[in-house]
Structure 1
Amino acid sequence: MPQAFKTVTRAVNLRIREDVRDLIDHAARAHSKTRSEFMIDAARRAAEDTLLGQTLVRVDPETYAEFLTVLDQPPGGEGFERLMAAPRPWKG
């Protein structure tokens, strides 16, 4: 079998409280999944969300200084004025 198609799995052992395991089992059944499938899917989604939430942008020092200058300026312009004039639903 070509290397690209081999699937390697490894065991992960977790110790969790019984009530948490029961909750996971209940949720897994609601999705017609095994406990392992449910936990792997949930852990994978959490890992992806964590990594997608981290953004690293590399720029030269001059570009970074310009970026900081823009951040230090007060907001303004037509779009900002329109946003500030919009009704606030929480002030009913």
Structure 2
Amino acid sequence: MVRSAERKEHPISMRMPEADIAMIDRAAGLRGRSRTDFVRDAAVRAAEDVLLENRLIRMSPTGFDEFMAVLSGAAAPVPEMVELARRPAPWEPGAAKKR
């Protein structure tokens, strides 16, 4: 008896306005991807974001107190970030000369 292979992919069908499809196709083309790949990637990333936003973090009362102490403490400056913040923005007059 021949067994059929278990299907690992499931189709999803949706109706969308033509303008949305055109925008998706344009963006997918700019990325060099198919519409299916582009939409699948965007949907999976959006789903991951939602799941991460709603993830429950558990910790002991002592761990929570330590966590809050770290958050309440003074931040240490990061020299690279300080230097970057002091640079003139590329659109500011003379910015290219100051580098």
- The TM-score range, normalised by the shorter chain, is 0.5 to 0.7
How far does residue 65 in structure 1 lie from its aligned partner after superposition?
A: 1.2
2:68 alignment partner AA = L
Residue 17 of structure 1, CA deviation: 2.8
Using a 3 Å threshold, how does the CA distance of structure 1 residues 89 and 52 change in structure 2: closer, same or farther? farther
- Which residue identity lines up with residue 73 of structure 2 in the other structure? Q
Q: Given the superposition, is the C-alpha separation of residues 40 and 83 from structure 1 closer, same or farther in structure 2, using an over 3 Å criterion?
A: closer
Q: Which runs of no fewer than 5 residues in structure 1 stay unpaired?
A: none
Change in 2 beyond 3 A, CA 1:90/1:52: farther
Aligned ranges 1:1-92 → 2 under 5 Å: 6-14=7-15, 16-30=16-30, 31-33=32-34, 35-48=35-48, 50-51=49-50, 54=53, 56-76=56-76, 80=77, 82=79, 86=83, 88-90=86-88
- Give the 3 Å change call, closer, same or farther, for CA 82–19 of structure 1 in structure 2: closer
TM-score, normalization: structure 1?
A: 0.56
More helix by share: 1
Task: Mark the runs of 5 or more structure 2 residues left unpaired by the alignment.
Answer: 90-94
CA positional deviation for 1:53: 5.0
User: What amino acid does structure 2 have at the position aligned with 1:89?
Assistant: R
TM-score, structure 2 normalization:
0.53
Identical-pair percentage: 28
Equivalenced residue count is 85
